Copies of this chain bind each other. A is one copy, B any other.
Amino acid sequence: MTLYVNLAELLGSRIENGFYRPGDRLPSVRALSVEHGVSLSTVQQAYRVLEDNGLAAPKPKSGYFVSVSRKAPALPAVGRPVQRPVDISQWDQVLDLIRVAPLEAVTQLGRGMPDVTSPTLKPLMRALSQLSRHQDMPGLYYDNIYGVRRLREQIARLMLDSGCNLTANDLIITNGCHEALSASVRAICSPGDIVAVDSPSFFGAMQTLKGVGMKAMEIPTDPLTGISLEALELALEQWPIKVIQLTPNCNNPLGYVMPEARKRALLTLAQRFDVAIIEDDVYGDLAYNYPRPRTIKSFDEDGRVLLCSSFSKTLAPGLRIGWVAPGRYLEQVLHMKYIGTGSTAPQPQLAIADFIEGGHYEPHVRRMRTQYQRSRDQMIDWVMRYFPEGTRASRPQGGFMLWVELSEGFDTLRLNRALLGKGVQIAVGSIFSASGKYRNCMRMNFATKSSREIESAVRIVGETIALLNAQTD
């Protein structure tokens, strides 16, 4: 592990164990540098990690202090997935999640839905509506295979914030991030190939690997700093891994933002072993801290990073508009996109282009970031109030998902079944592992503004957990 991550974890655990208390002044950068024999900049990096994770905050001219933030539950343990490539299972459980229709009379804490009721989305609906009123409506035609140029230009501009220097010609529009990931994998891999993934990992991306007959090598992942570079290096030495697939920014499901130095280190590893990286940045613009975190792609020099994203989390998933910047794999990805779906629907692309050009994107995303950060705090409070003592939870730095770890041996599949009759649905932990690990974990969505309905759903989940615990005792 790099020095500063080590140091950040040490300080973090001291804070969490109450060695330093909320409001306490933390040791000075200089003092820590001497104490641990590391450079000043290493200490500063460590403090930045603590800051990102809401554990410490700087005060001008007086150093770092332990955040007086509300008490938070302990972090989930680092997962211990199977230490060899495995075939991906869990399709049945994923299907249970995605076969539910939207707006059914169920509080769907399990889905990856953003809040689409914000008034800042109104100009988008106006654009959609207006586009349908032309007689020679461009939304009715086959689009060219790359996607609407005006939109690609806007995406290239937005991605500047992530450190990427892209042009419209580097981008292919896709049917959501899902197709971006799928076309990327199919462009690089053949059946039987091994893909290294963060663990827990987004189930949709894993099912995509499964569908192409790939094996997943799950890499232990820290809930604050992301995929373990040490474990990844070992895996790369041991197995003929073809691609590393991960979500470094506002990870789904863990919510961390991988520190910049670790992103660079990961890229160096990929170069050394000559593997490609599929980087899922679908939540990148929803990081609570501004400016938004950089992508691994922004450090890429030889085109080995395939950056995948969409407007599903920032605007609305029903539009099904995503994109991929496939680097040196552009031609192959284009072919795979074509053979999967042909071209992409032009109308939502044109509407989104109008929306961004009209200056509506940034204010909307700013508003959602603030809302999500607030409802994260609310959701954590509710978990602490309604869930059994000892429950652990992630500390998301962006997006709208909370990862919850219950006591060992608890089975969230049973929980979900018990919740069925109670009008609440969660995402069970096992679908986030290729081999069905994390059965005592679950993911909950906190996108909607806190409301009685959501609070009551969380309370019902908590009570049902207690009930099941009582039954097994």
Interface residues, chain A, with chain B CB atoms under 8 Å away: 91, 94-95, 98-103, 111-113, 116-117, 121, 125-126, 128-130, 132-146, 149, 174-176, 178-179, 182, 186, 190-191, 204, 207-208, 210-213, 312, 316-320, 334-336, 338-348
Contact = CB atoms under 8 A, between A and B. Distances in A.
A99 B144 contact: yes
Nearest to A205: B339
14 contacts: A91-B335, A98-B145, A102-B144, A103-B136, A116-B141, A128-B128, A128-B129, A128-B132, A128-B347, A139-B319, A142-B318, A178-B340, A318-B345, A347-B348
Contacts of A146: 99
Contacts of A347: 128, 318-319, 348
A318 to B, nearest CB: 4
B178 A102 contact: no
A142 B111 contact: yes
Nearest to A122: B135
Nearest to A133: B129
A338 B125 contact: no
Contacts of A213: 190
Contacts of A129: 128-130, 132-133
Kindly report how many copies of this chain are found in the complex they form together: 2
Which of A101, A102, A116, A140 is the most central at the interface, judged by chain B CB atoms within 10 Å of its CB? A140
A22 to B, nearest CB: 39
B99 A116 contact: no
B138 A318 contact: yes
A101 B140 contact: no
Given A98-B343, A341-B320, A342-B178, A136 B111 contact: no
Contact of A125 (B117, B133, B343, B345): B133
Given A204-B342, A211-B339, A319-B347, 8 more contacts: A100-B144, A101-B143, A139-B319, A178-B341, A186-B211, A207-B338, A208-B339, A211-B336
B207 A316 contact: no
A99 B176 CA distance: 20
A331 B316 CA distance: 27
